[in-house]
Amino acid sequence: VGYMAFGGMQSATAGPALGSDVDRIQAGFSSVYLLDAGNGQYVLIDAGADTKGTAILQALQARHASPDNVIAIFITHAHPDHDAALPLFPKAAVYTMKREVPIAAGREAYGSALSKLTGSTNSYPFDVTHTLDDGEKATAGNLEVTAFAVPGHTEGSGAYLAQGILF
């Protein structure tokens, strides 16, 4: 069971430069992306595995910003390594695919084979403020983000296209 859950996991490695308006933040064993939305506003893709959000807060501080400058967070899926720091950003709108809402709230098991056996639900339940359909566009600051349904990891998993990068 341990190998099934963690056996193939590897640390993220640096990839191609994403541009001056996008930072990849190593937040625990997952990545968070910080996007500049203009006018001192920022968008996060996911919220990492660290409930204290240490690496995210450091990245914001490096840009002379605080949690209050984060206007939106797009969650790819509601696993604890992607949503642990959400409470640090109470002013941010939280986006997920519609199908992910009951999973995010902890009302429904993740849907993986392992979670079906264990009944595992989101350990950091959260409320979604904006739901998205496949192909729907959302605007946050000066960013246009297109959502894509990619069910599998969870039934409501999503990917997001912004600034020509698919997250």
Largest CA distance in the chain: 47
Residues 112, 50: Cα–Cα separation, whole Å: 23
Q: What is the pLDDT of residue 20?
A: 79
State both tokens at 151.
Answer: 């069910």
- One digit per residue, the tens of pLDDT, for the chain of length 167 reads 444 444 455 555 555 568 779 999 998 888 999 999 999 999 999 999 999 999 999 999 999 999 999 999 999 999 989 999 999 999 999 999 999 999 999 998 777 666 666 668 888 899 999 999 999 999 999 999 999 999 988 899 999 999 999 99
Q: What is the pLDDT of residue 4?
A: 44
Residues 162/43, Cβ–Cβ less than 8 Å: yes
Q: What is the pLDDT of residue 109?
A: 79
Q: How open is the CA angle 89-79-12, to the nearest 5 degrees?
A: 90
Q: What is the pLDDT of residue 83?
A: 95
Residues 28, 79: Cα–Cα separation, whole Å: 13
